[in-house]
Structure 1
Amino acid sequence: METTVCPWCQTEIVWDEEIGPEDNCPYCQNELKGYRTLNIQIGDEEEEESEEDVDWEEGEEADGTPLWAEEDMQHQLPPSIRTLDKFEESHDLMNYEESVEKILDEQEEVPECPKCRDYMVLAGTQEFSGQGFVPSQFSALKAPVIQPPFRVNVYICTGCFHVETNLTEEDRLRMVNHLSSEQA
C-alpha cells in the first residue's frame, strides 16, 4: 500500500492499491498537488544560480512571466481564528490548556469546533419550554419534529469561543422514537 502525508493537515494517508492516490486529502479535502513550498537558502554555502541556469521557476511561465499578478501576491493572510491567541501576553495559557485538558477528560462527548477545529467544552444545558420556541410543521409529519420541553447541551470552543448546541442524549432518543413511529 502506498502512503502519503498530507501537507495541509499532516495526516498520513494510506491509499488503496486498486484505486491509487487521489488529488484531494480524504480528511481535510485540500488539494494534495496544489501545495506550494518556498525553499530559501541561508548562508553562502552554494553559489547563487544565474538566470541562464534556470529555465523557469514554479509560479512562472516558461518564458519567465509570473502566473499571478503582483496584486494577487500581496494578499494578506486573514487574522488568526483562534481568539485565545490574543490573550497570550496577559494570561498564563499553559494553566488554561491544562484546565481545558482536565475538563475534556471528564466529558462523554468532545466535539470539534466547526470554525477552528479546537475541542469544545460542555458549558451546561439549556431548556426550551413552550415559551419562545415555535416548532416547524412539515406535511410529512403529524406533529413537529420535537415538542417542548427539550434540552440542549451548550458547548464552547476553547480556541475561538464559538458556541454550539446539540440535543441532550434523552431528547435525541425521544426525537428518534418520534420520527420512527411517524412512519409506522
Structure 2
Amino acid sequence: MEQEQQTICPWCMTEIVWDEEIGPEKHCPHCDNELSGYRTLQIGLDQDDQAEDEDEEDTSDEPEWDAGDEDESYGGNGSAWKDTDQGFRHTNRAWMAVEETLRRVVDEQEEAPECPSCREYMIEAGKQKLNVEPTVHGAVGRPLVQSPIETTLYVCPSCFNTSSILSDKDRERMLKALSPQD
C-alpha cells in the first residue's frame, strides 16, 4: 500500500496530499504559489547589538560601488541591458496610433456592441441587405421580418469576429409584428 504524505500550503493553508510515486508538489494546486518559495523573516529585538557590531566589521576604505564595476554580462555600459527587454515595456508607436484611431471611430458610432468573444468594442463595417425567406410562427400567425432586411455589420478589431444587428427600421417592423393587433 502506498504511503501518502501531506503538506500544508503556507500561502492558502490548504492541505496538499501527495504519494511517493509522484513526489512532492512544487506548486500549490489551489493557489498556484510556489510551495518552496515561502520565506519567513526572523526579527529579534535582542539581537540589535550584534547587528551593529557586524555592520562595523563590514566597513572598509573601498567605496561600495564603482562605475567601473559594472556587470560584464551587460557590457559595462548597459547597452546589452537595453537589448534584453528587462525592466521596460516597449511600445509600438504605430500600434498606439491604431488604437487611438479605433477609439475615435468607436466614439463616432451610434452603437458600439461588445465582441462576444473578447469583449472589445466592435467597429461598424457597413450595411447589408439580405433576401430571406421569412418564417411564419404559429404563435404570431405572420412573419416577424419582411424580405429584404437590412443589417449593420460590425467587426472586432482585436479578434476579427463579425456580428450583425438588424437595422432600426426592421427592428420596428419586427416589434409591430410581435405586438397584438387591435
Q: 2:15 aligns with which of 56, 59, 62?
A: 62
Amino acid at match of 1:127: K
In the alignment, which of 125, 128, 142 is matched to residue 126 of structure 1?
128
Matched, 1:180 2:179: yes
3-state SS of paired residue (1:127): strand
- The question of 1:100 aligning with 2:102 is answered yes
Using structure 2 for the length normalisation, give the TM-score.
0.51
1:117 paired residue number: 119
Cα offsets for 1:64-115 (capped at 9, x unmatched): 428xx98xx7xxxxxxxxxxxxxxx999211211111110110011110000
Counterparts of 2:17 and 2:141, CA distance in 1: 68
Q: What are the within-5 Å matches in structure 2 for residues 2-81 of structure 1?
A: 56-57=8-9, 62=15, 64-65=17-18
Q: How far does the alpha carbon of each residue in 1:3-24 deviate from its partner, in whole angstroms, 9 at most, with x for none?
A: xxxxxxxxxxxxxxxxxxxxxx
Structure 2 portions without partners, runs of 5+: 1-5, 30-90
Higher relative contact order (CA 8 A, sep 6+): 1
Runs of 4 or more consecutive aligned structure 1 residues displaced over 4 Å after TM superposition: 58-61
Query: Which structure is higher in helix share?
Result: 2
Alpha-carbon distance between aligned partners in 1 of 2:148 and 2:172, rounded to the nearest angstrom: 14
Cα distance change, pair 146–63 in 1 and its aligned pair in 2 (3 A): closer
Calculate the aligned-residue CA RMSD, in Å.
3.1
For structure 1, list consecutive stretches of 5 or more residues without a partner in the other structure: 1-53, 74-88
Size of the aligned set, in residue pairs, is: 108
